[in-house]
Chain A
Amino acid sequence: MAENCGMDGMKQKIGFTVALLGLLAAGLVSADELNMPRGVTDISQQVYSLHMIIFWVCVVIGTAVFGVMFYSIIRHRRSAGYEAAQFHESTTIELLWTVVPTLILIAMAVPATQVLIAMYDTGGEDMTIEVRGYQWKWQYKYLDDDYNNTFSFFSSLSTPQDQIHNKSVKGEHYLLEVDNRLRIPMNRKVRFLVTAEDVIHSWWVPDFGIKRDAVPGMLNELWTIVDEPGIYRGQCAELCGKDHGFMPVVVEVMEESAFDAWYAEAVVNEAKRRENLSKTFTHEELMASGEQIYGTFCVSCHQANGKGLPPVFPSLVGSPLILGPVDEHIKLVINGVSGTAMQAFGKQLDAAQLGAVVHYERHSWGNNAQDLTQPRDVLALSGQ
C-alpha cells in the first residue's frame, strides 16, 4: 500500500516530463536558428537531411533508454520499499541489444555512404579556382587554360580593429567580412583546389556543405554547384596561429551573365597589371598610387602621419632605413620582420604596388630620398 501511495501519479508525471524534455530538445534543434543551415547546394541539403536522420535516431534511442532508467529510478528504490531482484545475466537480451543496434547502424551507413560518394564525384567542372591559405588571409587564383588569363587576389578580414577592441559598435557581419570576396557563378560546377602557403588552414563554407584542409605542399580538391545567388560566409577551420579567428571566407555567388562580365573585366585588368610591371613611372604617378596603397595596407600601424606607435610600430619619419639605400627598404617591405607585426608584403602586393608604396614613404613627411622606385627594381629583389 505504502509502495503505491502517490507512486502511479509520480510515474505519470515523470514519464510526461521526460517526454516533454525530449520533445523540447528536439524542437529546439529543429528550430532553424539553432540548427545546422540547410544551405544552398544539393550536397548541403543532403548533408542536412542526413544530420537530421541521425539526430532523430539518437533522440529515439535516448528517450527509450533514459525513459527506462528514470522509470527504474522512481520505481525501484529502497525508500519505496522495493526489494532487489537477483537476476544478473541473460544471453538472449545481450544478443538482442548487440544485434539490433548493429542493424540500426548499417541502416544509417547506407545513406551516409551514398552522400559521401556523391561528394567525391570530381570531374566535369566548369571552372577551377585555387584557394590558398596564408597566415592570416585567403588567396584566390582563377585558373585558365591560357596562363595569361590567370589572375589572383587576396581576401583579408575587413572588420576594423576599433570594433574588435570594443571602441566602436560591431557591424552586422562582424568578423565575417572581407575586402575582396571570392566570386563564383551559380549553377556551374566550380572546383576548388585547396592548399596553403605556410601552416595547415581549412576552408569552409557552411552554406555549401563543404570543408577541406589547406595543407602546405599538397593539393586538396573540393567542388560545389550553388543554386542560389547571394553572399555566403564561412571561416578558417584549423588552428593556424594567432589570427586563426580572423580570416573569414566570403563567397559571392553571381548570376552567370554577371559573373562572366566580371571575369572578363578581371582578365583585362590582369593584363594591364602585368604590363605595369615593365613600365617606368613618374614621381607623381608613384606618389598617387603609393598614397592609396599606404592608406590600405600601412596606415593602421604606421599612421597617416608616418609617425607610427613606437616601439611596436616604428616611425617612418626620418627613418634611417627609409633614407638609406632603397634596396634595403624594398627588401624589408617584401620580407617583413619576423617576430613582429610587420608582415611580408611581397606576397600580397605586386612589384608595381610595392615600388609605389616604397616610393611614397621615401618622399613623404619630410623624407626626400631623391630616387624613383620602379617595378623592375622590386622584381630584382623578389619574384613577383
Chain B
Amino acid sequence: MSEAIHADHQIEHHDEHGPAKGLSRWLFTTNHKDIGTLYLWFSFTMFLVGGVMALIIRTELFQPGLQFLAPEFFNQMTTNHGLVMVFGAIMPAFVGLANWLIPMQIGAPDMALPRMNNLSFWILPFAFSMMISTLFMEGGGPNFGWTFYAPLSTTYAPPSVTFFIFAVHMMGASSIMGSINIIATILNMRTPGMTLMKMPMFVWTWLITAYLLIAVMPVLAGAVTMMLFDIHFGTSFFNAAGGGDPVLFQHIFWFFGHPEVYIMILPAFGIISHIIPAFARKTLFGYDSMVYALASIAFLSFIVWAHHMFTVGMPLAGQLFFMYTTMLISVPTGVKVFNWVATMWRGSMTFETPMLFAIAFVVLFTVGGFSGLMLAITPVDYQYHDTYFVVAHFHYVLVPGALFSIIAAVYYWFPKFTGRMYNEGLGKLHFWLSFIGVNITFFPQHFSGLAGMPRRIPDYALQFADFNMVSSIGAFIFGFSQVLFLYVLIHGIRSGQPAAARAWSGARGLEWTLPSPVPYHSFTEAPALTEEEAHS
C-alpha cells in the first residue's frame, strides 16, 4: 500500500521535472510527442529539399531546349525528387502524426516501445544524409528514376548506387520498426471500452497501413539486396546474360510499390475522416463501411501491382487480371468519397483552414482517382504509360491528396500540439495559393501526356511548350506558398493566441479532452471512453 503511494509520488515528481533540456532532449527522447515533432520537422525539411529539386526540374522544363542542366544531372534531379518526397517527406510526416496522435487518441501514455521509437526516427537523418550526399560523389547520385529498374540501376549505375542501396535498407528498417511499434500500441494499449470498432478512423488507417508496411518493406529490401548482389557479387538476378530477367525486378519492385502508394494515402483518408465531421458538426457517415473499405483497399493493393507494367510484355490473361483488379479497387475508394460527402450533407459547416484543405482533398484526390481509373484500362494505358498523364495522375493523388491531408492535419491539431492558434487569415491565404498553384502546375500535365510527352525527359518537342511553361509557373507559385506555410507555423508557435482544450467546437476524440498544449506525459491514468468521444 505504501509502496503504491510511494510509486505514484515518484511519478508526480517526474512530471514536475518535464523534459530534459537542450540537444540531449532531442537525441535521447523516448516521448512520443517529441519523436512526433522530430519526424514532422524532418519531413518538412525533406519536403523543402525535394521541392527545390522539383523547382530545378521545372526551371529546365520552362522552355524547350537545354538551358541550365546537363541531361545526366536532370536524371539525378528527377530520381532524387521522387525518393526524397516519397521516403523523406510524405512517409515520415504520416509517421510523425501517428506518433503524436495514436497514443492520445486511444488513451495510452506512450507508444508500446518508446526506445525503439527513438531509433526508428534517428535512422532517417543518417540515411538521407547519405543518400543526398551521393549527388556530390564521383559519377553523381542515383539517376535511374525513383523506381530504379534494372539493368539501368545495376550494370549501368553510377558507383554511388551502393550508398543508395544502403540508404534504402536503413529507411526500410526504420519503417518496419515504426510499424511494429504502431501495431503493438494499437492492439494492446487501447483504453478499456475502446473496441476495434470504436477506434478513431486515423488509428484504423494506421493499423492497416502498419500491416502493409511490415508486409512489403522486406520485399523492397529483397529487391535492393538482389541489386547489390548483381552489382558486386556476380549474380544474375536481373541480367539476361547470366540467365536472369530484368522483368523480375519490376515484379518484385511493384509488389512493394503498389502497396507503398496505399501506405502513402491510407493515413490521409484517416485524417480527412476526422476533419470533415469536426467542421460539419456531424458524425462521420458510415463508420463501419469506412473500415471495411479500408480493409478491402489494403487487400486489393496486393493484387494490382502489374498495372505499372502493362507495356512490359505480359500475356493476355495477366493483363486482363490486373486490369480487372485495378478497376475494382476504385469501388471501396469511391465508397469513402461518398461517405465524406454524406458527412458534409446536411451538416452545419464552417470553413476554417483545415476544412478548406480537407474539401480540396476530396475533390482533387477524386480527380486523381479518375485519371487512375483511365490508366487502369490496359489498351488505353499503352498510350498513357510513361507519359505526363501518369505524372499528372500521381501528383494529383500525392500533392492535393496526401500532402494536403498532412497540411490539414497540422493546422487541425496545431492548437493541441502547441497550445496556440495559428493565424487563420494567413492559413486561408496559404490554402488558396496552394490550391491555385497545385492546379496550375499539374492540370496541364494531363494534356501534355495525352499529346505524347514522355516522362523523365529534360527537353521536349515544340508542341509541348505551352503546357510546360504554364506548369512551371504553377510550380513556383506552389513552391513559394510553402514558405508562407513555414512562416504561419513559426509565427503561430511563437505568438499565436492561447487555445482551448477543445480548440474546434466540432472536434471529437480523446485527444481533445486533454489540455492544449498537452502535457509532456498524458493519460498516465487510463481515461474513460464516453459516447461523446467514441466513434461507433
Q: Do chains A and B touch in the complex (CB under 8 A)?
A: yes
A47 to B363, CA, bound (A): 28
Q: Which of B331, B362, B363, B383 contacts A105 (CB 8 A)?
A: B331
A176 to B460, CA, bound (A): 9
Contacts of B342 in A (CB 8 A): 93
Q: Which of B65, B149, B335 contacts A98 (CB 8 A)?
A: B335
Q: How far is the CB of B43 from chain A (nearest CB, A)?
A: 27
Residue of A nearest to B463 (CB): A33
A218-257 contacts to B (CB < 8 Å): 218, 220-221, 234-246
Contacts of B151 in A (CB 8 A): 198-200, 216
Q: Known interface pairs A78-B349, A120-B316. Does A209 touch B383 (Cβ–Cβ under 8 Å)?
A: yes
A143 to B66, CA, bound (A): 38
A90 to B342, CA, bound (A): 10
Q: Which of A58, A211, A216 contacts B385 (CB 8 A)?
A: A211
Contacts of B64 in A (CB 8 A): 170, 174-175
A104-161 contacts to B (CB < 8 Å): 105, 108-109, 112-113, 115-117, 119-120, 135
Contacts of A165 in B (CB 8 A): 65-66
Q: Which of A98, A101, A175 contacts B460 (CB 8 A)?
A: A175
Is there an interface contact between B379 and A216, defined as CB atoms closer than 8 Å?
no
Q: Known interface pairs A76-B346, A88-B282, A236-B454. Does A175 touch B240 (Cβ–Cβ under 8 Å)?
A: no
Is there an interface contact between A101 and B331, defined as CB atoms closer than 8 Å?
yes
Q: Known interface pairs A69-B363, A115-B379. Does A105 touch B328 (Cβ–Cβ under 8 Å)?
A: yes
Stretch in B96-104, B252-260, B317-325, B480-488 touching the partner = B317-325
Is there an interface contact between A97 and B152, defined as CB atoms closer than 8 Å?
no
Contact with B along A15-33 (1 / 0, CB 8 A): 0000000000000110001
Contact with A along B356-390 (1 / 0, CB 8 A): 00010011001100100110011110110111000
Is there an interface contact between B359 and A176, defined as CB atoms closer than 8 Å?
no
Stretch in B26-34, B85-93, B186-194, B284-292 touching the partner = B284-292
Q: How far is the CB of A28 from chain B (nearest CB, A)?
A: 8
Contacts of B330 in A (CB 8 A): 101, 105
A383 interfacial contact with B, CB 8 Å: no
Q: How far is the CB of B327 from chain A (nearest CB, A)?
A: 5
A374 interfacial contact with B, CB 8 Å: no
Stretch in B168-176, B209-217, B445-453, B520-528 touching the partner = B445-453
Q: Which of A34, A66, A174, A241 contacts B363 (CB 8 A)?
A: A66
Is there an interface contact between B281 and A65, defined as CB atoms closer than 8 Å?
no
Q: Known interface pairs A65-B337, A84-B281, A245-B454. Does A164 touch B459 (Cβ–Cβ under 8 Å)?
A: yes
Q: How far is the CB of A42 from chain B (nearest CB, A)?
A: 12
Contacts of B345 in A (CB 8 A): 68, 72, 76
Is there an interface contact between A73 and B461, defined as CB atoms closer than 8 Å?
no
Residue of A nearest to B334 (CB): A101
Contacts of A174 in B (CB 8 A): 64, 461-462
Contacts of B155 in A (CB 8 A): 198-199
A236 to B387, CA, bound (A): 10
Contacts of B350 in A (CB 8 A): 77-79
A73 to B345, CA, bound (A): 8
- Counting chain A CB atoms within 10 Å of each CB, the highest count among B281, B319, B337, B377 belongs to B377
Residue of A nearest to B151 (CB): A199
Contacts of A66 in B (CB 8 A): 363, 366
Contacts of A244 in B (CB 8 A): 71, 75, 454, 456-457
A61 to B337, CA, bound (A): 12
A302 interfacial contact with B, CB 8 Å: no
Residue of B nearest to A176 (CB): B461
A85 to B283, CA, bound (A): 9
Q: How far is the CB of A275 from chain B (nearest CB, A)?
A: 33
Is there an interface contact between B313 and A85, defined as CB atoms closer than 8 Å?
no
Is there an interface contact between B311 and A85, defined as CB atoms closer than 8 Å?
no
Q: Which of B65, B335, B362, B447 contacts A69 (CB 8 A)?
A: B362
B348 interfacial contact with A, CB 8 Å: yes
- Counting chain B CB atoms within 10 Å of each CB, the highest count among A89, A112, A211, A239 belongs to A239
Contacts of B280 in A (CB 8 A): 76, 84
Is there an interface contact between B313 and A50, defined as CB atoms closer than 8 Å?
no
Residue of B nearest to A235 (CB): B454
- Counting chain B CB atoms within 10 Å of each CB, the highest count among A135, A220, A242 belongs to A242
A353 interfacial contact with B, CB 8 Å: no
B202 interfacial contact with A, CB 8 Å: no
A130 to B489, CA, bound (A): 59
Q: How far is the CB of A30 from chain B (nearest CB, A)?
A: 11
B52-72 contacts to A (CB < 8 Å): 64-67, 70-72
Q: How far is the CB of A375 from chain B (nearest CB, A)?
A: 28
Q: Which of B67, B72, B343, B452 contacts A234 (CB 8 A)?
A: B452
A6 to B50, CA, bound (A): 46
Contact with A along B294-326 (1 / 0, CB 8 A): 000000000000000001110010011001100
B421 interfacial contact with A, CB 8 Å: no
Q: How far is the CB of A309 from chain B (nearest CB, A)?
A: 15
A359 interfacial contact with B, CB 8 Å: no
Q: Known interface pairs A62-B370, A108-B327, A245-B457. Does A240 touch B152 (Cβ–Cβ under 8 Å)?
A: yes
Supply 23 A–B pairs (Cβ within 8 Å), ascending by A.
A37-B452, A51-B377, A51-B380, A54-B377, A76-B346, A77-B348, A78-B349, A87-B285, A101-B330, A102-B331, A109-B323, A112-B377, A115-B379, A117-B316, A164-B459, A166-B66, A199-B152, A206-B452, A211-B383, A213-B311, A216-B246, A242-B71, A245-B460
Which residues of B are at the interface with A, using a C-beta cutoff of 8 A?
64-67, 70-72, 75, 143-145, 149, 151-152, 155-156, 240-241, 245-247, 280-289, 311-313, 316, 319-320, 323-324, 327-328, 330-331, 334-335, 337-338, 341-351, 359, 362-363, 366-367, 370, 373-374, 377-380, 382-383, 385-387, 447, 450-452, 454-462
Question: Other CB < 8 Å A-B pairs besides A34-B451, A101-B331, A105-B330, 11 of them?
Answer: A47-B383, A77-B350, A97-B335, A98-B335, A172-B462, A173-B461, A198-B151, A211-B311, A216-B240, A237-B387, A237-B455
Closest 8 CB pairs of A and B: A217-B240, A245-B457, A220-B313, A84-B348, A58-B370, A85-B346, A88-B283, A237-B386
Which residues of A are at the interface with B, using a C-beta cutoff of 8 A?
28-29, 33-37, 46-47, 50-51, 54-55, 58, 61-62, 65-66, 68-69, 72-73, 76-79, 82-90, 93-94, 97-98, 101-102, 105, 108-109, 112-113, 115-117, 119-120, 135, 163-166, 170, 172-176, 198-200, 202, 204, 206, 209-213, 215-218, 220-221, 234-246
